[in-house]
Structure 1
Amino acid sequence: MILKNLIGTAAFVAIMFTVSAFSCTDKTEEIHQNLTSNNQGFAVLELFTSEGCSSCPPADQLMGDIEKQYQGQPVYILAYHVDYWNNLGWKDKFSNIENSKRQQQYAQILRSQVYTPQLIVNGKKEFVGSDRNAVENAIQTAFLNSNNAKIDLSAKVSEKEINVNFKTDENNSSNKLLITLIEKKSSTNVQRGENEGRHLIHWQIVHQQNQISLKNSSEGATRFKLPENFNPANWEIIGMIQNVKTGEILGSTKSSF
């Protein structure tokens, strides 16, 4: 009888422990959801990458995963293809010198090295762009420790160009508004270099970026040359406000066509 009672007690404790564990898990998930949905924070992920770099494809793929995982949340991804790999066997068709210059500016501000794949979050933190745990932690930290400055964007397509209207409350002379034309997804069959024979897929590719001073006006318009074979469904505009002295990004938003 005593043994039976002990078994019954043990079973009851086990059941209560299991219920408690599930309750704790549910509570953790609820807290996580509240952090990402109710907080006014945001995360801008700037990846510096190249088709000529054999270490870059995992970082490119991770950006695709993050884009899908955080769809509808304030996570903004920009993949800058740098040009300094172009003389090492393969020329990246998405690369340009302006992307490389932006990375060099970050290197001076953050006192970091120039390398690929490098990821910079909200202009403040840098690490290897293929490190999934570091990316996830940086996004959650950014959600909790940032307050998204308001930016209004609207984009319209004409026969030869894209016109973007902008408006923001920010007027600090140390800040700039960066408006970027982004191709959401594309791919390349690499024929030479470190990635020879590979079919590479890229996400959130930076094509053009206009920098606008907010010193004299916080409202206006900018334009981009219309890319060849332009399909509005595969492109978007990302706007972000950045302090040119510290590199910190103060707010970001996006607009479709």
Structure 2
Amino acid sequence: MHIKHRLAASLVPLCLWAATAPAYAQLAAGQRCAVQSGPQTAALVELYSSEGCSSCPPADQRLNALRKEAGAASLVVPLALHVTYWDQIGWTDPLAQAQFDARQAELLRHQPRHVAYTPQFFVGGTELRSWDTQLPAAIRRINATAAPVNISLSATPGQGGKLLLEANASAPDAQTGGQLYVAISESGIVSTVLRGENRGATLHHDAAVRLWLGPVALAQGRARLRREVNLPASWRPEYLQVVAFVQRADSSAILQAVSTAPCAKGVL
């Protein structure tokens, strides 16, 4: 564990899984991918990591295996957000973004202990310090709760490497307050670290966040985010997923999350 402050010094095409699983439309490669959240709450798992942190690779590996470990019946949406405050130690993480530092700090404002470190896990918006033993149980607890928000999410490819993202959140109770976020993540990333604590290591990253959009506040229990994105040539569309989630307006609690993972060919 590395502390930040120390570093600074069956329907077709719409299918319904089970009562607890999201509905989704899985279309051929190159076509629109659409997903719909289900009645139970999916567990958003956020890992704050860095390629410059020697204790991060085991956490990265754990996140990479999370869907398999949690089991087919589990509803889990993993995201790896790479922070920048390790970059000064000797290795500049190509996946790191300053807005992920800010996201980590935002979550910590609502936690009992306001200490940023890597690797740091949040499940459903709550810090999970004993992630090595408690991740599956934390996911099950969240999955056992009914979701107060519904989310529909679609990714539609366009010409010239464009991707149209559309997310809609709605709550049966119009008084429900929250903020809608959308992210694009990439899996299957392989990186060879040349300097720093992980010098000489070859790292494997899944669910690494490439793009972060939002928040859009719920008004009258509804929110919509629509954005056309130009995908950089270095991003591999077949390994991309889109994630949408709603966070409570007055806390870090995640009300619902959904991803395009059921669309097996990525987003293009």
TM-score (norm: length of structure 1): 0.78
Distance 1:220 1:191, change over 3 A: closer
Count of aligned positions: 222
TM-score (norm: length of structure 2): 0.75
Q: In structure 1, how many angstroms separate the alpha carbons of the residues matched to 2:138 and 2:45?
A: 9
Q: Which runs of 4+ in 1 moved over 6 A?
A: 34-39
Distance 1:89 1:229, change over 3 A: closer
1:203 aligns with 2:231: no
For 2:253, the aligned partner's letter is E
Match of 2:82 in 1: 81
- Could you tell me whether the CA contact under 8 Å between 1:148 and 1:252 is conserved in 2? no
Distance 1:153 1:35, change over 3 A: closer
1:65-144, aligned counterparts within 5 Å? 65-69=65-69, 70=71, 73-112=74-113, 113-127=115-129, 131-144=131-144
Q: What's the CA shift for 1:238? A: 0.4
Match of 1:161 in 2: 162
Match of 2:238 in 1: 233
Q: What's the CA shift for 1:229? A: 3.5
Q: What's the CA shift for 1:91? A: 0.5
**Cα root mean square deviation, aligned:** 2.5
Compare the two structures and name the one with the higher helix fraction: 1
Identical-residue share of aligned pairs (%) = 27
Bigger radius of gyration among the two: 1
Greater mean alpha carbon deviation, residues 55-64 or residues 116-125: 116-125
Q: What's the CA shift for 1:72? A: 6.7
SS in 1 for 2:62: helix
- Could you tell me whether the CA contact under 8 Å between 2:169 and 2:180 is conserved in 1? no
SS in 1 for 2:107: helix
1:166-181, aligned counterparts within 5 Å? 166-170=167-171, 174-181=177-184
Q: What's the CA shift for 1:98? A: 0.3
> Given the alignment, which residue of 214, 231, 248 partners 2:253?
248
For 1:104, the aligned partner's letter is A
- Structure 2: runs of 5 or more not aligned: 1-17, 22-37
